A and B are shown apart, each in its own frame.
Chain A
């Protein structure tokens, strides 16, 4: 395969303004991003730096209670980053470099946490390892206090490591085995190769996984809420500040404090680490990776991985088992009353609403992601990287922060006072029960902006693998940009599109932090209901919700595979060479 990247200068063609449709698409996505991502953030920053907010900054940053919360947040983020990356690395290494059985099984288990409803893992861990846990107390007879940093680190590492695993296994596969061969040729043994060649090459990937997990951990609300105990972090503090102290300004200030580490880490990850990467993921490996076959390396690592797999299965098994028993961890008689509650009772509306809103949000998120990816990768226009960055903010900014921003921005109609026309309503009220469509629109929009970044990333990656000449060929044969996008680009990035859709749907169904402040009488969200049940100790109902949620996500993924196309499609052809 020839080098697919032409010099930068040849990428641009037909100035973007030449095509009205392209201009329209650009204007639309820019407006969308500006209104749904940038504007709420600015409102929140405005509130934080308002005369009401400024003194709070000073108070929070000098008061030992709040300082310890900030420290807690950072320590937790770092630990989760560390352990999550370690687990991800272990799984990737075993997958790519070890010659052991059950690899397929380990791969599938590693993917399970992608569709974990919030609270599910944390609650299951309490049932298993809490002070009266069936394992800690039941088997080992210890009253272990799982609440706090240790429990959080365990649960979050297990919930988030998939990202690190996929990231690192991709990199390990892309590592040119010729390097290993060269090192072997020069007389290095395998351990030395691992230390001096493999590890340094993977370092950017490791660092970037660490940072991604850090961002994810400090933004998480569900787990600290359930498992935090007295270990308080910023996200729970923000939640409390709104729901306990009735103080949106304080919440905005805390959000800004949380925003600093999240955004810093995000920017470092995105613009520094990704640049220093030495592994070319697009290159065709010139051989098969060399396997580590030393039994003292192979079997301990294998055992550890299998142990983690079993732990994950145990946790998910507990969730499923717990949904069918009277009181998880206490009374084990079989019952279907939890499912009755979720499917026929109070929970039914939340289930329907959440599914419907996710179904509406998913294709939009996928499409918007692909269009932005197309514009950013293929077209030149002023503010291109700004558009990319602003879109990415949708996920880089913690969900609670987005939620507060929405409440601050859209709880009233957005108006503009013009000199002649007087007051003009730009946007109707979006959030709250009086908001447009009973607040459902705001929730759909939040689902979309939380999912678009992933679609954008996978779209960008897919597009940069496709020779721009293929699109130019289409144009040269008389097709316009729209037809080219539809007939050529979209089919070629279909796997990325599918990945974007799956992610969007799973994310929408399981998100809590961003929508917790946006539910309305008309629109109920499943995760919020799960939180309710967990807080009231009805674990059975919570587990039943989780099981139903997992089933819905799985069914949706299968449907998407069928309608959008499986992995036997275009990308195979693409891989086969152009």
Chain B
């Protein structure tokens, strides 16, 4: 978090949202007792697999759903009963939801017209928005005459131009092809850092989440698994779910040898290391998480030997599935020169970066 004295813009208090069951009899908790603070100027991402409740949470914030229980506070004001059009938030939709019967200009002007902004001001602000989004000259076009990236920019401009207190994104990049997605990701990042507009962003794409966010909220089954900075979430996942969902994680059983103030001493791959960990063992078994990129393969008989079962060349890196005899691990090696490829069926030594070991409750 960048600010020292963060001003809380949005507060979710014990929000639960129940939907009627498909069968019709019971209810399903799409969002289960969530509390969350979002600071002014912060870019917060709700991340999780589909069906985890992240989109519902976003729609609760926007007002398109009303919570079964709980409150939503915007700048300390309870907005729970307010309809979405009164909330001063703007939502950027997954498929842009541009008004197909209006020109780009009219699309962007729509929110300003609703606010009864003066005609000249609308003209000026829309033109500014067009300029800012690199859409100059396209004001007269219809949405269907634009490319996907341009459409997304119009959608963004349309939401930005009304200067909402919070900007909401519902998987805005998922409809773009891979290259464009990366480019738009950069643009959103640049824009948000410049305007410092409070944003809540929903995605299932962890890379996107990490690239854009000040903080990430990882959700699963309607609950929050972890809230933290991208680095926290990646390197120090709070739960096995978070570790598994983000990045490529290997879980290795460890034997706990001792515990001290310095950390926990464990034995892993026949090596004793001390891991600085906040995890309280309390007698329960622990498991070690090792990111694939912190494992390496080397021809060294001193190391534990593993069998390479599968080799996949991915361009910038090579992914191996190796067998230690007791479990399978995924190993990713950078290979800038393109010479160091281990063949399938080879036996090779396995090494790892001790600092990368992270302990989790098993």
Contact = CB atoms under 8 A, between A and B. Distances in A.
A421 interface: no
A574 to B, nearest CB: 5
Contacts of A19: 83
B326 interface: no
Contacts of B96: 578
Given A9-B19, A577-B144, A472 B97 contact: yes
A467 interface: yes
Interface in A448-483: 467, 469-470, 472-480, 483
Contact of A578 (B56, B143, B162): B143
Given A14-B64, A472-B91, A573-B142, A477 B111 contact: yes
Interface in A354-373: none
A492 B66 contact: no
Nearest to B89: A476
B65 interface: yes
Interface in B61-91: 62-66, 81, 83-86, 88-91
B99 interface: yes
A570 interface: yes
B236 interface: no
Contact of B65 (A13, A470, A474, A477): A13
Interface residues of B, number: 42
Contacts of B83: 14, 18-19, 475, 480
Contacts of B84: 13-14, 472, 475-476
A13 B64 contact: yes
A474 B110 contact: yes
B279 to A, nearest CB: 37
Interface string B167-183: 01000000100000000
A297 B112 CA distance: 60
A13 B144 contact: no
A479 B62 CA distance: 13
A476 B99 contact: no
A477 B175 contact: no
A569 B64 contact: no
Interface string B137-170: 0000011110000000001001100100000100
A475 B144 contact: no
Interface residues of A, number: 33
A576 interface: yes
B98 interface: yes
B204 to A, nearest CB: 15
A488 interface: yes
Nearest to B87: A476
A473 B97 contact: yes
B114 A578 contact: no
A483 B115 CA distance: 12
Contacts of B93: 469, 472-473
A474 B99 contact: yes
B94 interface: yes
Contacts of B323: none
A15 B95 contact: no
A477 B144 contact: no
B337 interface: no
A497 to B, nearest CB: 13
A10 B55 contact: yes
A433 interface: no
Interface in B218-242: none
A578 B64 contact: no
A14 B95 contact: no
A469 B95 contact: yes
Given A9-B19, A578-B96, 6 more contacts: A13-B65, A467-B95, A472-B91, A477-B114, A573-B143, A574-B101
Interface of B: 19, 30, 55-56, 59, 62-66, 81, 83-86, 88-91, 93-101, 110-111, 114-115, 142-145, 155, 158-159, 162, 168, 175
Q: Which 10 A-B pairs have the closest CB atoms?
A: A477-B111, A576-B144, A13-B64, A469-B97, A473-B97, A476-B91, A570-B101, A478-B114, A573-B100, A469-B93
23 contacts: A10-B55, A10-B56, A12-B65, A13-B59, A13-B65, A18-B83, A470-B97, A470-B98, A473-B91, A474-B110, A476-B84, A476-B91, A476-B159, A478-B114, A479-B85, A479-B111, A487-B110, A491-B101, A573-B144, A574-B100, A576-B100, A576-B144, A578-B96
Interface of A: 2, 9-10, 12-15, 18-19, 467, 469-470, 472-480, 483, 487-488, 491-492, 569-570, 573-574, 576-578
